Amino acid sequence: MKKTSTRLADGRELIYYDRREDVVREAPDLRPLEAAGPALSEVRHDVLLGDSVAIASHRQSRTYHPPADECPLCPSHEGRLSEIPDSSYDVVVFENRFPSLAGETGRCEVVCFTEDHGASFASLTEEQAALVLAAWTDRTAALAGLPSVRQVFCFENRGAEIGVTLGHPHGQIYGYPFTTPRTALMLRSLADHHARTGANLFDEILGKELAGPRVVLETAHWAAFVPYAAHWPYEVHLHPKRRVPDLLALDEAARAEFPAVYLELLKRFDRLFGADQPPTPYISAWHQAPFTEGGEPGATRQDFALHLELFTIRRTAGKLKFLAGSESGMSVFINDVPPESAAERLREVASS
């Protein structure tokens, strides 16, 4: 992998990740952009619920469903300049022009998986997917070193139904200035379980799932299953079998095996509802341990288990799972699809 760092016209950082070492990236950003000023984002703490909310009013003006020939994530060409100055690329990461978090409140980056506007992550080759994993890992290390960042979150939102406003295959990386509520809750559960039993809760969950009916896919180094208390109609958790706290700690064997495993899961998601249905909308989220400790009750980061959570809001052909009163008002999920049935269906649509 070759890494080339440059700056866009307004000063934002952009990084090319190339599979070939002989690639030269020297194309300048020729757009007449003003220097990026301080982002108008603010993190406010909810003293009643104990969580935090990012206030980012400048995001109201972000790009919204542009036509394909005006996509800001496609490479630049004569007569049409984009966020990517070069005329081609493998993988690109750059600072978000409309960040939810910036400066002292963290950092937001965009990850473009491929230059092909009509592609999807599932259509990438294993070599391309491996390069994305390398980029995720490299940016996790870089953001973890920023004084304003406590936790790094790599994720992809796919599909207009999810709320995606740019159709080009891409994801994002958030560097949060706090430990997210979901992770803090996991750490507390880990600590409580260890205090009661002396065991690691993640290890016990993985062991029980591998012996049960909800396994979707298992290889030498990875295991994918529908969790016992799945919140979403089709939800899969993907764990490396050797527990590690973050992407940086993955060994080479797990890295080598990941692309084939992940691409297979994504292809199964696209087969869930039949060939006549549009691509399945999903969220794919890497859960990593916070990179600074202290201030949160719970277990240490070494007790945490890196894992990916993949889920869709589509519950059946032509129907979406909307968050209604119980979910949105009280955070109590009601799942229409039994996890065992979801796992069975995900096994049925395996590649032949």
**Domain layout of the chain by residue ranges:** 2-32+44-51+58-176, 181-348
- Quickly list H helices, the chain: 126-144, 181-197, 201-210, 252-271, 330, 339-348
- The CATH classification number of 2-32+44-51+58-176 equals 3.30.428.10
Residue 39 pLDDT = 65
Residue 19 pLDDT = 97
| % of residues, the chain, pLDDT over 70 | 97
pLDDT digits (tens, 9 = 90+) for 76-126: 998 899 999 999 999 999 999 999 998 889 999 999 999 999 999 999 999
Among 2.102.10.10, 3.10.20.520, 3.30.428.10, 3.90.550.10, what is the CATH number of 181-348?
A: 3.30.428.10
pLDDT digits (tens, 9 = 90+) for 6-44: 999 999 999 999 999 999 999 999 999 988 766 678 999
Residue 168 pLDDT = 97
- Quickly list H helices, 115-251: 126-144, 181-197, 201-210
Tokens of 79: 């007569």
Check if 170 is active-site.
Answer: yes
Q: Do domains 2-32+44-51+58-176 and 181-348 have the same CATH topology?
A: yes
pLDDT digits (tens, 9 = 90+) for 276-335: 999 999 999 999 999 976 545 567 899 999 999 999 999 999 999 999 999 999 999 999
Among candidate residues 65, 77, 170, 231, the one labeled active-site is 170
Compute CA 109 distance to the chain's CA centroid, rounded to the nearest angstrom: 11
Structural contact between residues 115 and 89, judged by C-beta atoms closer than 8 angstroms? yes
Sign, CA dihedral 80-124-227-311, equals positive
Instruction: Supply the pTM of this predicted model.
Output: 0.95
241: helix, coil or strand?
Answer: coil
Mean pLDDT for 220-232 is 98
Pairwise CA distance, residues 139 & 255, whole Å: 16
Residue 59 pLDDT = 84
Residue 108 pLDDT = 97
